[in-house]
Chains A and B, each alone.
Chain A
């Protein structure tokens, strides 16, 4: 291996891949067979975290940053004057194996700029995955990017070696995409997504009959949307996310606050803030939809098209729906416990177990890990009535804000500090 050359390429091609936020390495069921290398049958592991706080679990690189497209929001766009590089297939294989053996990573996340055409690029990505699986007997995690417009045959082959496939939708609305990436067609994104979805459905039904059916993308597919590049409301973003969850069985939709990278007048200018708080609220909404039984329309609708930045979306929902409270912690159904602000999935689980033994009071809830500073306005439990029933929503909100320290507080506290 020519280490100096590799180092140069790695720097360029890791830098270009870093805006892809997906880092998940879980959800696959590939175990180590015949004393091969690696497994990805358990939970994912974050082997390190970058100084920006994001997890590093996969070697996330582009095969090349040469690209025939010129999408305004992308660093590797054709018109951008940057250093270009390309890995050879074998170089990516060697890097992956050597990093994996040292326990640096869970596997490979390989994406690419589009050179020549979609199929040519997709073919190269598949070559890497195939070599890793067949020649190196590698059972670690492989995430391949589905190149928009790639043919069905290639998508079929990709799923045989990869654990996860993803196409980044990038711009949540069709009109936004037209504006920022006029050369790309929305249907090109959908095509590989649809193929992968159908293959997974087919695999699952064949698996029931024939046990040895070769695995197809066992960790499913995911996508990503840029937030704050083309002026969508939170509602538009989450409706779009909901659409992909429902219609394409997405395992995950990622939200990526737009990091300004160009002076293009269609986009937020260089030096403007990355909307990290907004991104955080969108993820919270995503979780409420997937794990807490909320419908997207309860959280975001025509009347409330954007999320409240000051408080989390569940609290914000509860404040608008005070008639559903208080909830009696000792008798309420699980579905309703999940809707109490300050009570997470784990607390709900513990409450359900612990209340079999005795009635729970404030101290018990606190020991269990419930955030009482928020929950107290919405619950009744043993030994304590519901004292806060006469408080208005805005009063409760200001009490909660005053008695807690949010990590993003400094970003919106300028008005509050006057009082």
Chain B
């Protein structure tokens, strides 16, 4: 009974909370919690499949809310969205530490799990902010502003509010190519969508068919602006790359040769 257990869950936040419930309820010694598609490293641990259960998830979350303040709650959710390997285990330890101390533990940075959660949440927050900055909409013929993203972490749920309140008078889609889902805002509310892209999307005829004729002109203007605003005698490539890491360049129209 005392051998370490490896919990398998469906990858959802509620699923993870259910795991935490099960770990407490059955007094399990857990040494890993895995989402689908992730392979475990410890071959001796016994696998237990945990079925997501809304009631159990809610009970854990409410219990957590009794001690944890808003900051802690956010930190845990942000850390979960990082999808980093083994982050689930840190979240479990964070909950255990909270319940044991019966207090909010967000500032206890000398505990390595607390620090890890805080730092991961910070990274996710940074990625969220980057996406708010680096999304580049392109206007389609249907008058929808469309953008592709491939963020390091799953930040689409976090940026919804920002884009809904900022662009409340235009239709827009932000699509996460990596995780294969997007948000579509229809002037009323944002909803989750999935799109089957045709394979030739990158071809220029395909682009002229989809996008508004003025689109390329505005991209040109933006690129021209970007070039004109640079001060040659101050060029500092290191600083530039530090602010705009290369992995984001492919979605920034100012950093790319124009199609057409």
Q: Size band of the A side of the interface?
A: 35 or more
- Complex: how many Å from CA A274 to CA B236? 12
Q: Which residues of A contact B233 (CB under 8 A)?
A: 259-260, 274
Contacts A7-B220, A45-B132, A357-B108 hold; do A36 and B147 have CB atoms under 8 A apart?
A: no
- Complex: how many Å from CA A364 to CA B169? 49
Q: Which residues of A contact B145 (CB under 8 A)?
A: 101-102
Interface centre among A37, A54, A368 (most CB of B within 10 A): A54
Q: Is B217 on the interface with A (CB-CB < 8 A)?
A: yes
Q: What is the total of A-B residue contacts with beta carbons within 8 Å?
A: 155
Q: Is B133 on the interface with A (CB-CB < 8 A)?
A: yes
- Complex: how many Å from CA A12 to CA B228? 8
Q: Which residues of B contact A101 (CB under 8 A)?
A: 137, 139, 145, 167, 170
Interface pair A11/B224, CB less than 8 Å apart: yes
Interface centre among A19, A35, A45 (most CB of B within 10 A): A45
Interface centre among A49, A59, A276 (most CB of B within 10 A): A49
Query: Shortest Cβ distance from B60 into chain A, in angstroms?
Result: 24
Contacts A35-B169, A55-B243, A102-B139 hold; do A3 and B221 have CB atoms under 8 A apart?
A: yes
Interface pair B169/A99, CB less than 8 Å apart: no
Residue of B nearest to A19 (CB): B231
| Other-chain residue from A3, A17, A19, A60 in contact with B220 (beta carbon distance below 8 A) | A3
Q: Is B135 on the interface with A (CB-CB < 8 A)?
A: yes
Interface pair A45/B228, CB less than 8 Å apart: no
- Complex: how many Å from CA A51 to CA B132? 20
Question: A360-396 interface mask toward B, CB cutoff 8 Å, 1 = contact, 0 = none?
Answer: 1000100110000000000000000000000000000
Contacts A46-B133, A52-B236, A53-B239 hold; do A37 and B169 have CB atoms under 8 A apart?
A: yes
Residue of B nearest to A52 (CB): B234
Q: Which residues of B contact A350 (CB under 8 A)?
A: 107, 109
Interface pair A36/B168, CB less than 8 Å apart: yes
Interface pair B226/A50, CB less than 8 Å apart: yes
Apart from A37-B168, A102-B218, A354-B109, what are 19 other A-B pairs with CB-CB below 8 Å?
A: A12-B228, A14-B225, A14-B228, A14-B229, A15-B229, A18-B231, A35-B187, A39-B165, A46-B243, A49-B240, A50-B231, A51-B237, A52-B239, A53-B236, A56-B229, A98-B218, A350-B109, A353-B107, A367-B109
What residues make up the interface of A, taking CB atoms closer than 8 Å to B?
A: 1, 3, 6-7, 10-12, 14-15, 17-19, 31-32, 35-39, 42, 45-56, 59-60, 95, 98-99, 101-104, 137, 257, 259-260, 274, 276, 350, 353-354, 356-358, 360, 364, 367-368, 407
